[in-house]
């Protein structure tokens, strides 16, 4: 722990131009991938079929996935439902098959996963209209979150800080979505929840940095805006690193041991924490400097007549 107690003197802002180029390049790649390749939406957004099957004895998910893959359902999502004897399968829609035929073929394949009788307990069809509505509501939720953050930070700090925080948040969200688009990782409601959580995590880290920047602008009499921002980042560096590392430890454990159903959620948060830590240091602070923040903008407003009242 001694490394975090030692005062750091890293010239973060000296590399802000290089960081700005890197961030711009990553954001452009992410936007390009989302526009060209799109996101690999899961059943929550595209619609599909849910099939719940009960077995007489515990069944391994690896066997279930194998028989489904052999039956032509390689993209099916499989998980235990309640006990190790119950399995829930999510099937993406197939243009050439009706929903009833799709579930029948899937159940026929699932019977071969384990010896003994298999019972079809539930079949549900999620229509594409529901998926479209969920996609629209999810996008609106993200937009409202960004607007609310913009208003909150503008009221608490100053409008330049508000713009800087929103720029950093948009940067984090776009890069996270870009990674999911590039690697075509399934994007479902749990991943959308993770993206919204990334917004909250990144904002919290940015607020801590901004609070120290505002404090130092008022306290430090010498030094340029770049020097003050550098000093603030170094003072909050240990807190930023410790928070990120402990969060990543938990998320890595979730990703490794949490099972397939939570992989997308954990992976989105891991990417978001890494990108959010970077953006709170480079993107948000650099944006504030580019917007022309100065000491005069952050000094407390002296009310008219306050000096006269202070005189004996």
What's the pLDDT at 58?
84
What's the pLDDT at 182?
94
Any domain includes 3: no
Q: 106 and 198 share a domain?
A: no
Q: 31 and 79 share a domain?
A: no
Which residues is 50 bridged to in the sheet?
90, 124
Three-state DSSP class for residue 90: strand
CATH of the domain at 115: 3.30.70.3400
Any domain includes 230: yes
What's the pLDDT at 3?
43
What's the pLDDT at 130?
59
What's the pLDDT at 47?
75
Q: Which of 108, 126, 144 is the last residue of a domain?
A: 126
What are the start-end ranges of the H helices in the chain? 2-5, 16-36, 43-46, 61-70, 99-110, 128-156, 159-182, 189-219, 225-257, 263-278, 284-290, 295-298, 306-310
Q: 138 and 271 share a domain?
A: yes
Q: 99 and 213 share a domain?
A: no
Domain interval for residue 262: 10-39+130-298
The candidate with the shortest Cα–Cα distance to 284, out of 211, 219, 218, 220, is 211
Q: Which of 103, 126, 149 is the last residue of a domain?
A: 126
Q: 121 and 134 share a domain?
A: no
Q: 26 and 171 share a domain?
A: yes
Q: Which of 79, 108, 126 is the last residue of a domain?
A: 126
Could you tell me if 220 and 295 are in contact, meaning their C-beta atoms sit under 8 angstroms apart? no
Q: 272 and 294 share a domain?
A: yes
Question: Considering the entire predicted model, what is its pTM?
Answer: 0.76
pLDDT by position in tens, the chain (length 312): 444 445 567 888 888 889 999 999 999 999 999 999 988 887 777 777 888 888 888 888 888 888 888 888 777 778 777 778 888 888 877 766 676 777 888 888 888 777 777 888 888 877 665 567 777 787 787 788 778 877 877 787 778 888 888 889 899 999 999 999 999 888 888 888 898 888 888 888 888 888 888 888 878 777 787 888 888 888 888 888 898 999 999 999 999 887 777 888 999 999 999 999 999 889 988 888 888 776 665 555 545 554 445 455
């Amino acid at each position: 722990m001694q490394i975090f107690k030692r005062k750091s003197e890293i010239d973060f802002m000296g590399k802000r131009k290089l960081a700005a180029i890197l961030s711009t390049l990553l954001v452009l790649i992410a936007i390009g991938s989302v526009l060209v390749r799109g996101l690999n939406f899961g059943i929550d957004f595209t619609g599909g079929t849910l099939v719940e099957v009960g077995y007489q004895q515990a069944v391994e998910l690896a066997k279930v996935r194998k028989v489904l893959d052999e039956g032509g359902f390689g993209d099916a999502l499989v998980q235990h439902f309640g006990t190790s004897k119950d399995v829930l399968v999510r099937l993406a829609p197939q243009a050439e098959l009706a929903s009833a035929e799709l579930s029948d073929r899937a159940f026929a394949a699932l019977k071969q996963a384990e010896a003994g009788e298999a019972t079809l307990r539930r079949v549900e069809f999620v229509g594409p209209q529901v998926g479209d509505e969920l996609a629209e509501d999810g996008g609106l939720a993200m937009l409202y979150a960004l607007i609310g953050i913009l208003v909150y930070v503008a009221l608490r700090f100053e409008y330049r800080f508000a713009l800087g925080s929103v720029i950093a948040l948009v940067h984090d969200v776009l890069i996270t979505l870009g990674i999911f688009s590039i690697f075509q990782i399934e994007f479902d409601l749990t991943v959308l929840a993770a993206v919204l959580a990334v917004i909250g995590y990144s904002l919290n880290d940015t607020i801590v940095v901004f609070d120290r920047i505002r404090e130092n602008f008022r306290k430090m009499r010498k030094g340029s805006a770049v020097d003050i921002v550098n000093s603030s980042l170094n003072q909050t560096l240990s807190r930023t690193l410790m928070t990120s590392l402990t969060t990543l430890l938990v998320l890595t454990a979730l990703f490794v041991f949490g099972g397939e159903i939570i992989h997308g959620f954990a992976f989105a948060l891991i990417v978001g924490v890494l990108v959010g830590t970077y953006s709170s240091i480079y993107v948000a602070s650099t944006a504030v400097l580019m917007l022309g923040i100065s000491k005069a903008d952050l000094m407390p407003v002296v009310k008219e007549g306050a000096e006269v009242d202070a005189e004996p």
